[in-house]
Structure 1
Amino acid sequence: MMIRSLSADFLKIRKKGIWFLVFLAPIGIIAMQALNFGLRFDYMKQQYADDLWGGLITNISFFVPISLYLGCTLIASLVANVEHQMSSWKQLLALPISRTAVFSAKFTLCVILLSVSCILLSLATIILGLAFGFGFSFPLIADTIKLGFFPFFAALPMLALQLWLSLSFRNQALPVSLGVTAALVSPFAGTLSEWFPLNWPAMGYAGPNNAWFISAGLCLGFIIMFIGLVHFNRKDVD
């Protein structure tokens, strides 16, 4: 049943601007670094002479957590808002399909959309480096995949929380405000404990024990998703 619901959700998001956001985030990050390196190429090349690829990936990684928090917020809100705008919750839940399948399908849809964005970021990073003449080696594939997905895994609690709130409230002011605030605060959260959740995406990529932060993100993300699922199953719909 979840597959059928997921297929229906893919049809519903057509012409809703969600795919535009999926492409916008990685292209925007790469465009900023293209300007950063392009305008100061000699200086950046000298600064990262020992590891040009490492310098490029490090500069890109600074913006990944912010983009993830905004992406989780906007995609979850837009996916949920498809039903809110059409006032179709009663019709949807009257169908012979469980609420668990409906919620799981929307969560899976958000994960797929953000995964596509992460893949595009990895590919675009390689293309940008090659355009600057950095050369190519196969370990770069693994490095850029880590750049895209390790922070995403660590940010999974934000996605689960945003989807839960977005599905629970017809007015999206609360979840969107919370997500935007988290994105704006995240660059300054480094002064707090590394185990502060807003630091997990950055630590999941660059931390000395990144596996711990990735595991924590996955575990807490699925716990929040389960709590949201239980609430969604018991909630009355308008």
Structure 2
Amino acid sequence: MLRHAVAAEGRKLKGSCIWLAFLFLPAFSVFVGCANFSMNREILTNEWQSLWTQVSLFYGDLFLAVLLSIYAAYEWRLEHLNHNWNTLMTAPVPVRNIFWSKFLVIAGLSFVTQVLFFALYLAAGFYFGFQSPVPPDVIRWFLCAWIGSLPVAAMQLFFAMRIRSFAVPVGIGFACSVVGFLLAAKGWWACFPNALVIAGMGAVSQEALGQVDMGIFFVMCAVFTALFCGLSLLVLKKADVKS
């Protein structure tokens, strides 16, 4: 039944406007980062690593969380319209399948978003004619970007489920990005989902996370994901019809 629920959620995305954000925000982040890199090549001499600090600056600090907020708000948008919430609550489908289908769809969207962003990043590096090989850290950046996005997705799904407005959860996602940036800049990246994804991508510091820090990163990602998924399931199980 979960497979059918995931397929139903995927059908919602066909022809939706979220694909505009999916294409524009990663491309805009890479474009701005490339412009900054091009204007400062005399001081940004580490090629791939230096380009990464520029393209991930806006994407990791802001745009990724906003994208996840848009994805989450859209996943709950139809349920909040008219009396669709009542239909959902009376449907012969376990509420856990309803939530997990939405979470899995957003996790998949996040994965595809990271693929697009990294493809644009690699294309930019080849365009600049870098002489050094692509660093192995690219794999770590990719994994940390995707895994770090999961607790943010879980948190935004919770907000979008509780708030009927489409714009308010997106605004909350933007505010959480600002909070995450401040925490990550102070080294408190393990305290908040948005700070986790920023630190994992190295969007604040070019230095790679050490082995101990990587362990903390994965543990805290799992903790926050489980926390917000658990809260969402708890609310759904106790939810009643709405007038």
Question: Is the shorter-chain TM-score for this pair beyond 0.5, marking a shared fold?
Answer: yes
Correspondence 1:164 to 2:129 = no
Cα RMSD of the aligned pairs, angstroms, is 2.2
Deviations 1:161-196 (A, max 9, x none): 210121122234543332121123333331363433
Q: Distance in 2 between matches of 1:91 and 1:112?
A: 26
CA shift, 1:108, in A, is 0.7
Among 61, 74, 79, the residue aligned to 1:78: 74
- The aligned counterpart of 1:62 is 57
Matched AA of 1:98:
P
Give the alignment's TM-score, normalised by structure 2.
0.84
Q: Deviations over 1:138-158 (max 9, x none)?
A: x54x43343333034234322
Answer yes or no: is 1:95 the counterpart of 2:91: yes
Gaps of 5+ in 1: none
Change (3 A) 1:236 1:113: same
Shift of the alpha carbon at 1:86? 5.2
- The 3-state SS of whatever aligns with 1:62 is helix
Pick aligned residue for 2:111 from 115, 121, 124: 115
Q: Which residue of 2 aligns with 1:213?
A: 217
Match of 1:223 in 2: 227
* Residue aligning to 1:30: 30
CA apart distance, 1:22? 1.9
Secondary structure (helix, strand or coil) at the match of 1:236 reads coil
How far 1:135 moved relative to its partner?
4.0
Q: TM-score, normalization: structure 1?
A: 0.86
- Cα separation, partners in 2 of 1:232 and 1:125, compared to 1, 3 Å: same
Aligned partners of 1:229 and 1:210: how far apart in 2?
A: 28
Gaps of 5+ in 2: 203-208
Q: Is the 8 A contact 2:61 2:177 kept in 1?
A: yes
Q: For the residues of structure 1 that align with 2:82 and 2:105, how far apart are their CA atoms?
A: 19
Q: What is the CA–CA distance in structure 1 between the aligned matches of 2:148 and 2:188, rounded to whole Å? A: 15
Q: SS state of the match for residue 121, structure 1?
A: helix
- For residue 130 of structure 2, what is the aligned residue in structure 1? 134
Whether 2:10 is the aligned partner of 1:10: answer yes
Local SS of the residue matching 1:47: coil
Q: Retained in 2: the 8 A contact 1:18–1:75?
A: yes
Amino acid at match of 1:37: F
Q: Which residue of 1 aligns with 2:200?
A: 204
In structure 2, give the amino acid aligned to 1:107. F
**73-82 or 121-130, larger mean C-alpha shift:** 73-82
CA separation in 1, counterparts of 2:18 and 2:34? 25
CA distance in 2, matches of 1:36, 1:115: 26
Greater alpha carbon shift after TM alignment, 142-151 vs 122-131:
142-151
Greater displacement, 179-188 / 76-85: 179-188
Structure 1 SS opposite 2:81: helix
Return the alpha-carbon distance in structure 2 between the equivalents of residues 18 and 205 of structure 1.
23
Please give the alpha-carbon distance, in whole angstroms, between the structure 2 residues aligned to 1:173 and 1:205.
26
Which deviations, in whole Å up to 9, do the C-alpha atoms of 1:106-153 show, x marking residues without a partner?
A: 11111111111011111111001001111463x54x433433330342
Q: Tell me, what secondary structure is at the counterpart of 1:195?
A: helix
Give the whole-Å Cα distance in 1 for the aligned partners of 2:56 and 2:218.
Answer: 15
**Alignment match, 2:205:** none
Q: 1:124 to 1:86 in 2, by over 3 A?
A: farther
Larger deviation, residues 103-112 vs 6-15: 6-15
- Counterpart of 2:20 in structure 1 is 20
